[in-house]
Amino acid sequence: MEKYTIEGSPKTPNINFDLIGGILEIKGRSIPENSIEFYKPLIEALENYSSAVKPITTVNIQLEYFNTSSSKCILDVFKKLEGINKAGSAVTIHWHYEEDDEDMLEAGEDYQAIINVPFKMVMVNE
Amino acid sequence: MDIFDVYKQMERNDILLAFKGEVTSDLLSSVFQIMETKMDNLNEDPKLKRKVYHILVEILQNLYHHLDEISEQDGDINKSAIFTVGKKDSDYFIVTGNFIINENISAFKSRLDEVNSLSKEELKEFYKKTLNNGQMSKKGGGGLGMIDIARKTGQKLDYNFLEIDNKVSFFTLNIKISNQ
């Protein structure tokens, strides 16, 4: 598998995972009722990637909304990235938030406090 | 039933949207979309709009998961629920009502009271702790909903249990969202 892609929907984000380039992007809304089912294939793709990591892994998270059910799954994604970082790939998580969205910035900081991977908070101008 | 009475009562209470019946995933998709369009049409401040949308998603999905879980616990229980979204001046109000099995009340109530006893900073820590250690249900409910609602509204959870009979009660949750 070289690329793992999921088209976004009103309740789920676009996901692009380029396993050759080591770039993972999650963009849009993540408010599905059943988030475990939605994130399971991505968790599996990360597991595959962790056995053949690239020297650098760049992660871009740009979410407009996410529900608490997704927040647990996003944490699981970040825990996989923590493992990938330990396995020798330099992981950076770029957490995007809109200029006036303090809640989204705070959510990113909550993850930063839990996950042992470098985070960069990126402000986006609307 | 006099439907005009129902209409007048809703009008008096500044209701924008009301629903009674079974809560499905498709229904929620429609409700989220309707409320988003409504708030756009009202030229709502982006910050307030985001907050209302976020809390609406959390409350209604909480309701959805709860009804799903209790029907697994007891197939005979009434899965019907009611919710309204209202706006008075610049504040939004979301009220929900649903049946709950009496034996589940004490655990649920102590959880609500725990959330209500915490300060803003304590809620943040409690959220992180629950996020990191909490158990998730098989579809992804994780007990974070109420903590999140309390954090986002900055207010205590206003709830009530009305005992219907020796088996079930009617649970109501009253949420006010202001643009602070």
Domains along chain A with CATH numbers: 3-124 (3.30.750.24)
- How distant is the Cα of A20 from the closest Cα of chain B, in angstroms? 30
B130 touches chain A (CB under 8 A): no
**What mean pLDDT comes out for the span A49-58?**
94
Give the per-residue pLDDT at B17: 97
Would you state the pLDDT for residue B77? 79
Q: What is the pLDDT averaged over residues B31-60?
A: 96
B33 — pLDDT class (breaks 50, 70, 90): very high
Residue A23, pLDDT > 80, answer yes
Phi-psi region of B135 (alpha: psi -120 to 50; beta: other; left: phi over 0): beta
**CB atoms A33 and B65 under 8 Å:** yes
Task: Work out the angle at residue A51's Cα, subtended by the Cα atoms of residues A46 and A56, and round it to the nearest 5 degrees.
Answer: 70
**Confidence check: pLDDT of A12 > 60:** yes
Whether pTM > 0.90 for this model: the answer is yes
Q: In the structure, what pLDDT confidence band is assigned to residue B48 with cuts at 50, 70 and 90?
A: very high
Average pLDDT in the B84-111 region? 95
| Interface ipTM | 0.91
Q: How far apart are CA A126 and CA B30, in angstroms?
A: 26
A25 by Cβ neighbours in 10 Å (0-12 / 13-18 / 19+) ranks as: middle
pLDDT of residue B78: 80
pLDDT at residue number B143: 80
> SS3 for A99?
coil
State the pLDDT confidence band at B137, using cuts at 50, 70 and 90. low
Q: Is pLDDT above 70 for A93?
A: yes
How confident is the model over A98-116, as a mean pLDDT?
Answer: 94
Cβ separation A10–B46 shorter than 8 A = no
Read off the pLDDT band of B136 (50, 70, 90).
low
pLDDT of residue B93: 97
Would the pLDDT of B139 be above 70? no
Confidence of residue B74 (pLDDT cuts 50, 70, 90): confident
Tokens of A56: 């650098």
Is B58 in Cβ contact with A67 (below 8 Å)? Answer: yes
pLDDT at B70 (0 to 100)? 81
Nearest to B156 by CA among B115, B122, B126, B121: B115
Does residue B104 belong to the interface with chain A, where contact is any CB pair within 8 Å?
A: no
pLDDT bin (cut points 50, 70, 90) of residue B95 is very high
Q: What residues contact B160, with CB distance under 8 A and at least 6 apart?
A: B171, B172, B174
CA angle A46, A47, A48 (to 5 degrees): 90
On average, the pLDDT of chain A sits at 94
> Which chain A residues are within 8 Å of B134, Cβ to Cβ?
72
Please give the average per-residue pLDDT across A33-37, as a whole number: 92
Give residue A121's pLDDT: 97
**Is the pLDDT reported for residue B180 higher than 80?**
no
Contact A93, A118 (CB under 8 A): yes
pLDDT of residue B141: 59
Q: Which domains does chain B have, with CATH numbers?
A: 3-101+156-177 (3.30.565)
The answer on pLDDT for A29 being more than 70 is yes
Q: Verify whether the Cβ–Cβ distance A114 to B132 is below 8 Å.
A: yes
Instruction: Name the residue facing B53 among A65, A69, A72 (closest C-beta).
Output: A65
